[in-house]
Structure 1
């Protein structure tokens, strides 16, 4: 069904062309960067385990060092997976005919490709939870080199710093294997509400319009606005706030002991963090969550508040089952979560 809505091959081809190759490096330098990133990712696993107590099984989710076109391809695949339940529901409700033909899969392919091409020049790394069977970690080598040069960071320190953050996300999903299915179930839940929503007079057209407007700051939530749908998005906001906040806490907790220039890196990097950076941020934009960056900062505040009060071991109850995940309201009020779960 999604193939009729978006020409994914065209999206990948255009996105790769827009993304470009990145900074100029020699063949030997490129090989050295790839080797160092792989080693840093492997090293980060133990650092994250020691700090958090989360034990991720070996070999469950691969670490891939990619170029910009590789990132575009990976995220086109991820985007297609995320959209599939929604599009399937809509096309079952109203099989694509006039609308799909009028808009054209090539038109949406161009739009999605343009969005991915823009993002591909900005992403340093990400964990893709939707890749079968257990997700995968992507490290975008040319972008890491570009940013470390741009901010004048020590390359060795900066590469480990990036890997530490992204590896935390890999550990979150592989040490907590139900998390992946939980997030995907929320996507399916949104799809189910769309199938019965009277607000969507023409669901397929509205999804296409939302994809188009996403490059201008619009979102699916501009058209998926029922109370039930907003409740789901609130839950997703809580989970994503937790994941991002937890990764920041790990970075700040582990960083000073292994990255000599971490304070300098953090200060310079925060100045440019407002940009979109990962599939997570792509989903935020699509779901209308990118305007709520304060809630992601609140995620780190939530984690620190709970850990300061009860310790990391007790905090880890958050990973035991979906019912223990904080709501959006609890992210802003950690005491409420402590009282409910602990």
Structure 2
């Protein structure tokens, strides 16, 4: 009589995620130890462990979370404690959005969402990502739905790029035909300010010979601000900030009070109602000619996409302004002839 074949060793590989499964204390997980799993769960977990797409299984009444290596990037510090824990306990802040999708899969209906926003932590910072999610029911050996499989494709970069390109296209259309530098700046400020939810934006023109800057344009969500023409000393805002700006490097500060680059100069920032700032310099050969300042009156995190967009819009504005100024100079020269 031939002996029954032994089940494959799910955790035989030395990969980091399988080692994590093998060393995990499963006594507190409703999923139980992997040695006790039935064929369906063993096969399903083996499938996700062999995938490079972020995937997870929510199994059993408590929706025990079982995931692969690619999913760890989304968990960050929640791993390895999340392994085998209830899905709701792992993602309490996302549960309102996740629960309907899981429940539909548990009811036997697959679900799909494209570019779904999800707040996660990335590199220790809050981060709103975009994800395409596909939930499918997982059935046990008797055909009853016992869990849900989720396959994830992050679309953050594509989504942000498409939005950034769409905004730039809209800006180009609105700037088409404008020849006045102030009008060009006002239109760009309005679009960028509303898109980023900024408290204010101002453009400063610098005079390095006397170490001062003058505010040339000032935007607020309700219209033109009252800081146009106001002047201040460059040194009042921090030497480290100035060094970066003179070198043409963008400066992003989430909290002017706590950031060591700006904390000693908090009073100067407070005088302009600045709690957080994103500054794109206009520098040539080490000289700071001007800057676009995107500001918030409270601390906030400037995402990488915020920074890219501010840089793109600033370059667009300065190029358009240079063309407008060159056109005005040419018309003035012709008029003098």
TM range (shorter): under 0.3
TM-score of the superposed pair, with normalisation by structure 2: 0.20
What TM-score do you get using the length of structure 1 for normalisation? 0.20
Higher strand proportion = 2
- Bigger relative contact order, structure 1 or 2, given CA contacts below 8 A and separation 6+? 1
Whichever structure has more helix as a proportion of its residues is 1
The higher radius of gyration belongs to: 2
